[in-house]
């Protein structure tokens, strides 16, 4: 999904509680999530537009409430489409788990009906460039942000490993104009079959083992350790089934096992920040 020309201000590093990295939503944007969730649920739909990209055929809805006009992406895929299981509920589940873990990389996403059908509605964020475009055009990452940029990529891989997001391609790895990674497209996440519970997607022992998560935020790992079925069920509600929640917890164990192994081999200071 292509979103262009978004300028979002300066980098901010806030290391307390729930803000992990400078390369995601800003502290002010995070504080306004509740406001945007309410807006997405209640704002008047004044226009719609087929985005024309992706198997799930998302629709861009233009919204208005008072003097505030925004747009959002509505999806309602269900069942198997072109050989892959899809679910609009997973878009909401990914957002809520993002909040629970303190990543703050997934845009506000809510449930909303449109054209008599339930679906997910995600606040539109204009994104400048995809990883595919960056590689094809040979655009370098600015030298002064390479380290932080890599840390964000590692964090995204750890998150995708936890939720078994099989659809994170170079095309939907997208950055803002100031190189912050915002995570979208999660309708193919939360797989619960054994291939995605016996093995992670990324990491040393993962299905895509050439792509690791070499450095991770301490706060992320701390929250990951505290993740249990009760917390997931309370935060995500009916958006995940019992078996899907259990699959998340199985992947949590695999993820922590590899993180602990890295810490043992390299030392905590080389792995966590």
Per-residue pLDDT of the chain (273 residues; tens, 9 = 90+): 444 333 233 333 333 344 455 567 888 999 999 999 999 999 999 999 998 766 668 999 999 999 999 999 999 998 776 667 899 999 999 999 999 999 999 999 999 999 999 999 999 998 899 999 999 999 999 999 999 999 999 999 999 999 999 999 888 888 988 888 999 999 999 999 999 999 999 999 999 999 999 999 999 999 999 999 999 999 999 999 999 999 999 999 999 999 999 999 999 999 999
Q: Of 138, 259, 240, 224, whose CA–CA distance to 186 is shortest?
A: 240
pLDDT of residue 172: 86
Say if residues 58 and 64 touch (Cβ distance below 8 Å). no
pTM strictly above 0.75: yes
Burial of 13 (0-12, 13-18, 19+ CB in 10 A): exposed
Strands 44-50 and 117-123, by their bridges, are unpaired
pLDDT of residue 2: 40
Say if residues 129 and 251 touch (Cβ distance below 8 Å). no
pLDDT of residue 19: 44
pLDDT of residue 178: 86
pLDDT tens, 71-83?
999 999 987 766 6
User: What CA dihedral angle connects 159, 162, 167 and 171, to 10 degrees?
Assistant: 10
């Amino acid at each position: 999904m292509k979103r262009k020309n978004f300028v979002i201000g300066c980098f901010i590093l806030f290391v307390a509680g729930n803000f992990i990295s400078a390369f995601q939503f800003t502290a002010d944007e995070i504080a306004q999530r509740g406001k945007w969730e309410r807006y997405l649920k209640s704002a008047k739909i004044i226009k719609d537009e087929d985005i024309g990209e992706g198997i799930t055929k998302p629709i861009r809805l233009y919204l208005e409430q008072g003097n505030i006009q925004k747009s959002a992406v509505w999806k309602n895929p269900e069942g198997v489409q072109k050989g892959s299981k899809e679910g609009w509920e997973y878009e909401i589940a990914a957002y809520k788990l993002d909040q629970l873990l303190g990543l703050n990389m997934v845009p506000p996403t809510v449930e909303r009906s449109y054209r008599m059908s339930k679906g997910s509605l995600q606040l539109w964020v204009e994104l400048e460039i995809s990883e595919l475009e960056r590689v094809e055009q040979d655009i370098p990452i600015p030298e002064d942000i390479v380290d932080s940029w890599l840390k964000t990529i590692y964090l995204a891989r750890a998150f995708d490993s936890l939720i078994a997001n099989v659809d994170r391609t170079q095309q939907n790895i997208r950055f803002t104009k100031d190189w912050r990674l915002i995570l979208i497209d999660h309708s193919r996440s939360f797989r619960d079959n054994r291939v995605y519970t016996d093995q992670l997607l990324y990491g040393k022992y993962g299905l895509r083992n050439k792509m690791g998560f070499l450095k991770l935020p301490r706060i992320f790992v701390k929250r990951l350790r505290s993740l249990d079925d009760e917390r997931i069920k309370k935060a995500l509600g009916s958006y995940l089934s019992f078996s899907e929640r259990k699959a998340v917890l199985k992947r949590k164990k695999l993820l922590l096992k590899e993180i602990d192994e890295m810490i043992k081999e390299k030392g905590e200071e080389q792995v966590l920040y």
